[in-house]
C-alpha cells in the first residue's frame, strides 16, 4: 500500500531493527510454518540495501539502532564468543552508511548485541569482546520469551521459563552495570512480572521493554486480547513505576499480537492500524510519559503487517495531538539518549 508521508520533516531515530541472512535456516522449517517463521521467510535476507531502501522511503529517518537477532555469528568460535561476529558484521554496515556515499542517514549508529548472561560473572569477558568489536556497541538483549503453549512461539525459541529471575542470569546481568551498558528486555505479556522483578532488583540498570510488552493474540491466546487487556495494562503501569525502565512502542504488527492477524504487508491503511494499536500505544505513553517511550519499527519482522512507510504513518496518526517537544522525544531524542547517540540530533 502506498500512502502520502505524514509530517515528512519530523526527525526519526529508529531504535529497533534487525539485519540477517536466514536463507539457510528457512530450509529447516517445512510447510506449514509457524506464522512468525512465515513472516521471516517473506524477508529472509535483509542487509544494508533492504534497510536503506526502507529507511529512505519517505520519512525523515536520521539514524537507527541495530537489535541482535542471532545472525552472522562467528564460525569456529566458542559458543560464548560466536556472538561477537554479529557485532563485527553490523559495525561494517554502520561504517558503510557513515561513509556518506548513501546520504546523511546513519544506519546502525548504535549496536545492541547478545551475550549469554547465564554464564554469570564470566559474561563480563563476552561483553568486553563485544565492546572491542565496535565502538558503536551499546548493550545487549537477552530475550526471555516463553509460554507453556509451544504453539505461541514456535520452534525457534527455547528460552527457559523464569529466565530473568534465575540466579546465574542475574549474576551475568550485574556485569552490564559495571560497564555502563543498556539492556533490552523481550518477553511476553504473561511474563511481565519477571521484568518488573528484575528492574526492582537492579534499580540503576537502564532497561527498555521491547514491543509494548508483546500482547498475545495467537494460538491458545487467539481472541483473548480484549480479555487480557486489563492485566497487561496493570503490569505496564507497574513496570513504569521503575524509573530505570523505558518502553518501545511497536512490535504490534508481529504475528504474536495478531494486530493484524494476517500478512504479509496486510494492506491495511495507516489509519486502520493506528486504530488497532491505539489502546496499547496510548496506555504505554500514559504510563511511562513522553520522556520514557520511543517508537520502533521492529523491521523486517513487522513487515508482516505493514510497509515501513505505512508503519510510521500509523504512529504519526497516534501522535497528531502531541506537542512538538513530545514528538521530538518519542521519535528521536529518547532513543538517542538511551543509546548514547545524542550527537545525531545536533
Give per-residue pLDDT as tens, 164-198.
Answer: 999 999 999 999 999 999 999 999 999 999 999 99
Identify whether the C-beta of residue 26 lies closer than 8 Å to the C-beta of residue 41: yes
For range 41-69, the mean pLDDT: 96
Return the pLDDT at 32: 67
Angle subtended at Cα 222 by Cα 221 and Cα 226, rounded to the nearest 5 degrees: 80
Give per-residue pLDDT as tens, 91-144.
Answer: 999 999 999 999 999 999 999 999 999 999 999 999 999 999 999 999 999 999
**Residue 202, C-alpha cell as written in the block:** 537492579
Return the pLDDT at 241: 98
Return the pLDDT at 267: 84
Tell me the pLDDT band of 2, cut-offs 50, 70 and 90.
confident
For range 15-31, the mean pLDDT: 87
Tell me the pLDDT band of 6, cut-offs 50, 70 and 90.
very high
Tell me the pLDDT band of 37, cut-offs 50, 70 and 90.
confident
Return the pLDDT at 26: 79
pTM of the model: 0.97
Q: Is the pLDDT of residue 19 over 80?
A: yes
Which element (helix H / strand E) includes 84? Answer: helix 84-98
Q: Is the pLDDT of residue 343 over 80?
A: yes
Tell me the pLDDT band of 40, cut-offs 50, 70 and 90.
confident
Whole-angstrom distance, CA of residue 283 vs CA of residue 232:
10
Which element (helix H / strand E) includes 135? Answer: none
Give per-residue pLDDT as tens, 257-273.
Answer: 988 876 656 689 999 99
For residue 206, what are the contacts with CB-CB under 8 A and spacing of at least 6?
A: 139, 182, 183, 244, 246, 338
Return the pLDDT at 28: 77
Of the two residues 38 and 227, the one the predictor is more confident about is 227
Return the pLDDT at 263: 62
Whole-angstrom distance, CA of residue 282 vs CA of residue 328:
17
**Residue 346, C-alpha cell as written in the block:** 545536533
For residue 191, what are the contacts with CB-CB under 8 A and spacing of at least 6?
A: 144, 145, 146, 147
For range 146-167, the mean pLDDT: 89
For range 244-253, the mean pLDDT: 97
Q: How far is CA 114 from CA 27, 73, 94, 173, 214, in A?
A: 24, 10, 18, 12, 20
Q: Among all chains, which residue has been given the C-alpha cell 500512502?
A: 3
Give per-residue pLDDT as tens, 200-241.
Answer: 999 999 999 999 999 999 999 999 999 999 999 999 999 999
Return the pLDDT at 288: 98
Mean pLDDT of the chain: 95
Tell me the pLDDT band of 41, cut-offs 50, 70 and 90.
confident
For range 39-47, the mean pLDDT: 86
Tell me the pLDDT band of 1, cut-offs 50, 70 and 90.
low
Under DSSP, the state recorded for 299 is B
Whole-angstrom distance, CA of residue 131 vs CA of residue 314:
35
Identify whether the C-beta of residue 297 lies closer than 8 Å to the C-beta of residue 304: no
Of the two residues 249 and 255, the one the predictor is more confident about is 249
Amino acid at each position: 500500500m502506498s500512502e502520502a508521508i505524514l509530517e515528512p520533516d519530523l526527525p526519526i531515530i529508529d531504535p529497533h531493527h534487525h539485519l540477517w541472512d536466514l536463507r539457510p535456516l528457512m530450509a529447516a522449517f517445512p510447510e506449514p510454518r509457524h506464522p512468525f517463521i512465515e513472516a521471516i521467510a517473506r524477508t529472509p535476507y535483509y542487509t544494508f540495501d533492504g534497510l536503506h531502501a526502507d529507511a529512505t522511503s519517505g520519512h525523515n529517518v536520521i539514524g537507527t539502532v541495530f537489535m541482535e537477532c542471532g545472525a552472522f555469528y562467528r564460525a569456529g568460535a566458542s559458543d560464548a564468543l560466536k556472538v561477537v561476529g554479529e557485532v563485527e558484521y553490523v559495525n561494517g554496515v554502520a561504517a558503510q552508511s557513515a561513509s556518506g556515499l548513501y546520504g546523511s542517514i546513519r544506519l546502525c549508529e548504535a549496536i545492541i548485541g547478545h551475550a549469554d548472561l547465564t554464564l554469570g560473572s564470566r559474561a563480563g569477558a563476552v561483553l568486553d569482546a563485544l565492546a572491542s568489536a565496535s565502538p558503536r556497541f551499546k548493550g545487549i538483549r537477552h530475550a526471555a520469551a516463553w509460554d507453556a503453549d509451544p504453539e505461541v512461539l514456535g520452534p525457534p525459541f527455547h528460552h527457559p521459563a523464569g529466565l530473568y529471575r534465575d540466579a546465574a542470569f542475574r549474576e551475568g546481568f550485574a556485569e552490564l552495570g559495571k560497564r555502563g551498558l543498556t539492556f533490552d528486555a523481550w518477553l511476553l505479556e504473561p511474563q511481565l512480572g519477571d521484568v518488573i522483578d528484575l528492574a526492582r532488583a537492579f534499580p540503576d540498570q537502564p532497561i527498555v521493554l521491547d514491543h509494548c510488552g508483546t500482547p498475545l493474540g495467537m494460538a491458545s491466546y487467539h481472541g483473548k486480547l480484549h480479555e487480557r487487556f486489563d492485566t497487561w495494562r496493570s503490569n505496564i503501569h507497574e513496570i513504569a513505576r521503575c524509573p530505570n525502565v523505558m518502553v518501545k512502542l511497536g512490535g504490534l504488527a508481529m504475528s504474536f499480537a495478531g494486530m493484524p492477524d494476517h500478512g504479509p504487508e496486510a494492506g491495511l491503511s495507516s489509519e486502520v492500524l493506528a486504530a488497532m494499536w491505539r489502546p496499547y500505544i496510548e496506555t504505554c505513553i500514559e504510563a511511562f510519559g513522553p520522556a520514557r517511550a520511543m517508537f520502533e519499527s521492529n523491521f523486517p519482522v513487522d513487515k508482516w503487517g505493514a510497509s515501513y512507510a505505512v508503519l510510521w504513518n500509523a504512529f504519526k496518526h497516534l501522535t497528531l495531538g502531541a506537542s512538538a517537544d513530545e514528538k521530538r522525544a518519542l521519535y528521536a531524542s529518547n532513543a538517542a539518549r538511551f543509546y548514547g547517540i545524542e550527537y545525531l540530533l545536533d
